[in-house]
Chains A and B, each alone.
Chain A
Amino acid sequence: EPEVTQTPSHQVTQMGQEVILRCVPISNHLYFYWYRQILGQKVEFLVSFYNNEISEKSEIFDDQFSVERPDGSNFTLKIRSTKLEDSAMYFCAGTGMWSYEQYFGPGTRLTVT
């Protein structure tokens, strides 16, 4: 059964550094999402991406965040200058055409020190 994969599983970075979180969605998926989950809290939407464009973004997704799908396979989330409060699990998800069922990757735990 195809799965969403994410790398790395855990990233530790210093405040102010840039990080890139990577996701390989399921191959026939067309809509892609990033969510974050602060430890012990609910999942929060960051951004959705379709046809190489951002479809929606939340208030959390400010100018420090960017997404791209550079090679038609990987889907990346970049945080330009990390803050302590960016520490969280970041999940990538995807859906296929004509579906609203979002399938999630295992997540990347980002720790900002």
Chain B
Amino acid sequence: GQQLNQSPQSMFIQEGEDVSMNCTSSSIFNTWLWYKQDPGEGPVLLIALYKAGELTSNGRLTAQFGITRKDSFLNISASIPSDVGIYFCAGRMDSNYQLIWGAGTKLIIKP
């Protein structure tokens, strides 16, 4: 089946640093969604992207829909302790309702 390759798998950063993560696929997607999941909770939608090349911000978070429609990027600026968690990309293809998920990027902030 279709797969999304999300990287990095985990990140250890200092508070205040910027963070970048991405998802790539060999397939074309028409929607990219970025979610954050805290332990024991459901994924929370952060940003939705619908057009190739689209750049969308939500506070300190910025995500981009790659122009090839096969990738997406999420950046977090000036990280704070509450940013810790697992970030997932999810993509929707033209013909499907379902979301296909990346494996997640675990963000850990070093004290």
A and B associate: yes
Q: Are A48 and B98 also in contact (CB < 8 A) when A91-B43, A104-B42, A107-B42 are? A: yes
Q: Tell me whether A104 and B43 are in contact (CB under 8 A).
A: yes
Judge whether A65 is part of the interface by a CB distance below 8 angstroms: no
Q: Report the interface size class on chain B.
A: 20 to 34
Residues of B within 8 A of A106 (CB): 41-42
Number of A residues near B (Cβ < 8 Å) is 24
Complex formed: what's the CA distance from A59 to B96 in Å? 14
Q: Is the CB of B97 within 8 A of A31?
A: yes
Q: For residue A45, which residue of chain B has the nearest CB?
A: B98
- The interface residues of chain B lying within 8 Å CB-to-CB of A104 are 35, 42-45
Contacting A at CB under 8 A, from B35-70, are: 35, 40-45, 48, 50
Of the residues B41, B44, B90, B97, contact of A43 by C-beta under 8 Å: B90
A44–B31 CA distance with the chains assembled, in angstroms: 17
- Residues in A with CB closer than 8 Å to B109 are none
Hey, which chain A residues are within 8 Å of B76, CB to CB?
none
Q: Which residues of A contact B100 (CB under 8 A)?
A: 45
Chain A residues numbered 83-113 whose CB sits less than 8 Å from any CB in chain B: 91, 100-107, 109
Which 8 A-B pairs have CB atoms at the shortest separation, nearest pair first?
A: A104-B42, A45-B98, A48-B97, A43-B101, A100-B31, A42-B103, A42-B101, A106-B42
